Amino acid sequence: MVKLATQLVQGTNGTDDQNTGAVVPPLYLSTAFRHPGLGQSTGYDYSRLTTPTRALLEKQLATIEHGTHAFAVSSGMAAIDLVFSAFTKTGDHFIASDDLYGGSFRYFDERAERYQIPYDTWDGVDVDALLLAIQPNTRLIWLETPSNPTMKVIDIEAVSSAVHAVRPDILIAVDNTFLTPVYQQPLTLGADVVVHSATKYLGGHNDILAGAVIVADDDLGESLSQQLTTTGQNLDPFDAWLLIRSLKTLNIRMHAHTANARIVAKHLEALPGVDRVLYAGVGGMISFYLNDAYSVDQFLQNLKVGSFAESLGSVETLITIPAIQTHHDMPQAQREALGIFDNLIRVSVGLEDAQDITDDFDQAIAGAKKE
Ligand SMILES: *Cc1c(COP(=O)(O)O)cnc(C)c1O
């Protein structure tokens, strides 16, 4: 394989088989495909099964995550649902790292209640404790790193090797939304399944809702493929085409997000209104605690460059309050045990000029001081 930056830019090009010389791949919107004859297929039959545009995106997703099978679906939640529907059944048990996307917890709780697939949480640090939490019916371990929103880092390789040494049948699934394959390729670290909310960095422009599941095993790929054909939460061709386009700039965007986030994190650390900054050192996601002498609401209202909005991973700087947005459904005690207090502010550092972002924080925080 060529290097990642080249693969991202060039990997989906030159695929127009009409000899037009089109550099960029064509977009096929057809849902139906003519059969050459009885029992024959061009490889495409009906778009719930596969379409040329989605297949091209999936090939690219598999390549950049070092997998062999990828599935592009209608949202990150659809990706999570595809994994659980394909790989778990009533009576199974799973373990999830304790600090992750609030919507994932909502989904896990629903699985536990409605389908009797209970789960335990794990702190993401103590691998021996994780091994002790494994039960005979444990089927899957779900990890998100760096964690959301407190930016704890999990050693995927240590977890995968420790778990697989005792239980090769347990699937290690990693939500790789925050770092993307530019910074982390879980399948090369021993994980079995990678999941993305492609709405975030993979899409990168706040205009595509999408998800992805990637594996490097034929049997796992077959299970996912059958499940997806059955339930049909596929990504539509136009969004698949837009995502192909977005991936071309993923490498350069991720490095630019990191460069800006490092500047913003360092700047925030020195501000009197900021108690503590949480940053994994790479990627564009930062969280910080606003000092009690400042109003979170006023800070949000003062922002001019950043926007108070749900979501992350886009070129625009977005600011989220996890306690009232992404993690609102989590019981308060559980939230606070994880450090998710009402003054915790999550920043998805965008690609505006870093100075404009830090100036914006300066004025928004200074103007939020309580009387
Ligand atoms: C947003 C998000 C999801 C859910 O993805 P949607 O595209 O919103 O359905 C899952 N995991 C993480 C880490 C996310 O940030």
As beta bridge partners, residue 94 has 119, 140
Mean pLDDT of 107-126: 97
Backbone angles phi, psi at 238, to 5 degrees: -65, -45
Q: What is the largest CA-CA distance in the chain?
A: 79
| Residues with C-beta less than 6 Å from any ligand 1 atom | 75-77, 101, 103-104, 144, 148, 175, 177, 197, 199-200, 209, 211, 312
124: domain CATH number is 3.40.640.10
pLDDT digits (tens, 9 = 90+) for 72-96: 999 999 999 999 999 999 999 999 9
Q: What phi, psi does 277 have (nearest 5°)? A: -110, 135
Nearest of 109, 102, 62 to residue 84 by alpha carbon: 109
Residue 148 lies inside a defined structural domain of this protein: yes
State yes or no: is 294 an active-site residue. Answer: no
Tell me whether residue 25 is in a domain: yes
Q: 157 CA to middle of ligand 1, Å?
A: 23
Query: Tens digits of per-residue pLDDT, 128-139?
Result: 999 999 999 999
Distance CA 225, CA 232 (A): 10
The answer to whether position 220 is within a domain reads yes
Per the CB < 8 A criterion, the answer to whether 223 and 230 are in contact is: no
| Mean pLDDT to the nearest integer, 202-223 | 98
Q: Please compute the mean of the pLDDT values over residues 354-361 and round it to a whole number.
A: 98
Mean of per-residue pLDDT scores for the chain: 96
Mean pLDDT, residues 336-362: 97
CATH number for position 354:
3.90.1150.10
pLDDT, mean of residues 346-371: 97
In Å, how far from its chain's centre is CA 278?
A: 19
Measured CA to CA, the distance from residue 314 to residue 200 in angstroms comes to 6
Q: Identify whether residues 209 and 304 lie together within a single domain.
A: no
Q: Are residues 187 and 324 part of one domain? A: no
pLDDT at 16: 82
Domain end residue (candidates: 216, 248, 280): 248
Give yes or no: residues 235 and 345 share one domain: no
363 has a pLDDT exceeding 90: yes
- Give the chain's domain count: 2
Q: Which of 248, 271, 291 is the last residue of a domain?
A: 248
Q: What is the pLDDT of residue 191?
A: 98
Phi, psi of 90 (to 5 degrees): -55, 135
295 part of a folded domain: yes
248 catalytic residue (yes or no):
no
Question: First CA to last CA across the chain, in angstroms?
Answer: 60
Say which residues have a Cβ less than 8 Å from residue 138's Cβ, sequence separation at least 6: 92, 93, 94, 95, 167, 170
Name the residue range of residue 235's domain: 4-248
pLDDT in tens, 318-328: 999 999 988 88
Local confidence band at 284 (pLDDT 50, 70, 90 cut-offs): very high
User: Which is catalytic among the residues 175, 192, 239, 360?
Assistant: 175
Are 257 and 351 a contacting pair, CB within 8 Å? yes
Higher pLDDT: 289 or 14? It is 289
230 has pLDDT over 90: yes
Mean pLDDT for the stretch of residues 188-209: 98
Do 173 and 274 share a domain, yes or no? no
**Band (330; pLDDT cuts 50, 70, 90):** confident
- Nearest residue (CA) to ligand 1, atom 1: 197
Are residue 178 and residue 290 in the same domain, yes or no? Answer: no
Q: Which residue has its alpha carbon closest to ligand 1 atom 2?
A: 197
Going by CA atoms, what residue is nearest to atom 7 of ligand 1?
A: 76
122 and 32 in a single domain? The answer is: yes
Distance 253 CA to ligand 1 centre (A): 19
Residue 265 shares a structural domain with residue 343? yes
The ligand 1 atom at the shortest distance from the C-alpha of residue 209 is 7
Per cent of the chain over pLDDT 90 is 94
* Segment 172-177 mean pLDDT: 98
Return the pLDDT at 91. 98
Residue 1 has pLDDT above 90, yes or no: no
Same domain (yes/no): 259, 204: no
Q: Tell me what percent of the residues of the chain surpass a pLDDT of 70.
A: 100
Atom of ligand 1 nearest to the CA of 311: 1
Contact 278, 146 (CB under 8 A): no
Q: What is the pLDDT of residue 30?
A: 97
Confidence at 15, pLDDT banded by 50, 70, 90: confident
Whether residue 189 has pLDDT greater than 90: yes
Angle at 242 between CA 19 and CA 232, to 5 degrees: 100
pLDDT band per the 50, 70, 90 thresholds, residue 127: very high
Distance 102 CA to ligand 1 centre (A): 9
pLDDT at 18: 84
In the listed set 248, 283, 300, which residue is the last one of a domain according to the structure? 248
Distance CA 326, CA 333 (A): 16
Residue 371 lies in a domain: no
User: Given pLDDT bands bounded at 50, 70 and 90, which one contains residue 55?
Assistant: very high
Q: Which of 44, 48, 245, 289 is catalytic?
A: 48
Q: Are residues 228 and 91 in the same domain?
A: yes
